Amino acid sequence: MAKVLLIAEHDGESLNPSTAKCVACAADIAAADIDVAVFAESAASIAAEAASLESVSRVICSENAAYRGGLAAVLAPQIVALAGDYDYVLGPSTTFGKDLVPRVAALLGVNQISDIMSVEGERTFKRPIYAGNAVVTVEAPAGVPLVATIRTASYRPVGTGNSAPVETLEMSADVPDHTRFIASETGKSDRPDLQSAARVVAGGRGQTGRIIAPDLYIAIGISGAIQHLTGIKDAGTIVAINKDEEAPIFEVADIGLVGDLFNVVPELTDAVD
């Protein structure tokens, strides 16, 4: 049996969609026994969400006011204290995971595998390199915990309906006091977060530096530079509108329309209305 410790990402109240996608990856590991760890100031509602995810065997939760804000410097020692019982320690390849998981790997004295996009074997995975221009197969050594981040754009979230047991642990690791959470300030918007949006319409210059996988992606007037194609290639359905029939975006598009966007878009808008 492969013991997997998956670190849940949340906002203090509810799970981030990245967690359900990470569970989907972990479930591809043969004979995976998946524990989801929730570190929060108040963990009850978050742990309940995690327990409902398919393929989760158990939810471990720890509550501490110091966990507010999800600081990597605070959480990493707690995860390391748990890691000795596990073969795998996994987290999302999001801002949260990219900050936290390397610290865990460093404290454990092991190399990290970044951006797992598919599981090929017990210790063999595929991951992108060179801004997604190439995909390599990597194999981790046996006998040490495998610490990795998961490219969430490569996975669909698992379903719900599970009722995994929830256990509360008193952590023995000291909470560092050299770093503490003060406040978080973000701009307010009625629009969903780009990385969690189910439908995305992009126009003009497309490269944002983010990797997204919406159900529907519509590229309007975007030619399709290699960096852009890397960021959107895992979308469910890709629709491209461009007046250049040789535009690279058409190579990955499921539906392509050659035409001037200033003529096409108003016609499409009228048809939808």
Q: What is the pLDDT of residues 78-106, one digit of tens each?
A: 999 999 889 999 999 999 999 999 999 99
More confident call, 172 vs 264:
264
pLDDT band per the 50, 70, 90 thresholds, residue 205: low
Whole-number pLDDT of residue 134: 84
- Give the rounded percent of residues in the chain with a pLDDT score beyond 70: 97
Residue type, 15: L
Q: How far is CA 34 from the centre of its chain?
A: 17
With 0-12 / 13-18 / 19 or more C-beta atoms within 10 angstroms meaning exposed / middle / buried, residue 166 is: middle
Mean pLDDT of 238-247: 93
At residue 227, the pLDDT reads 79
Q: Residue 271 CA to chain centroid, in angstroms?
A: 36
In this predicted model, what pLDDT tens digit does every residue of 190-202 receive, in sequence order?
766 777 788 999 9
Q: Where do the CATH 3.40.50.620 domains begin and end in the chain?
A: 2-168
Amino acid identity, residue 226? I
pLDDT over 60 at 9, yes or no: yes
Residue 229: the pLDDT is 84
What is the model's pTM? 0.82
- The beta strands (E) that lie in the chain are given as 2-7, 32-40, 56-63, 88-92, 112-116, 118-119, 124-129, 134-139, 146-150, 166-168, 199-203, 216-220, 237-242, 255-258
How far is the CA of 95 from the CAs of 104, 242, 272, in angstroms? 15, 32, 36
Q: Region 129-155: what's the mean pLDDT?
A: 90
pLDDT value for 44: 93
Range list for CATH 3.40.50.1220 in the chain? 199-272
* Arithmetic mean of pLDDT over the chain: 90
String of DSSP letters for 133-159: TEEEEEEPPTTS-EEEEE-GGG-PPP-
Nearest to 13 by CA among 47, 57, 64: 47
Q: How far is CA 197 from CA 184, 216, 265, 269, in A?
A: 22, 9, 21, 21
Closest CA to 58 of 99, 84, 86, 16: 86
Cβ 88 vs Cβ 142: under 8 Å:
no
What does the pLDDT read at residue 206?
57
Identify the residue with better confidence: 173 or 103.
103
Predicted confidence at residue 186, as pLDDT, reads 72
Top-level class of domain 2-168: alpha beta
In this structure, which topology does domain 199-272 adopt according to CATH? Rossmann fold (3.40.50)
Measured CA to CA, the distance from residue 18 to residue 94 in angstroms comes to: 8
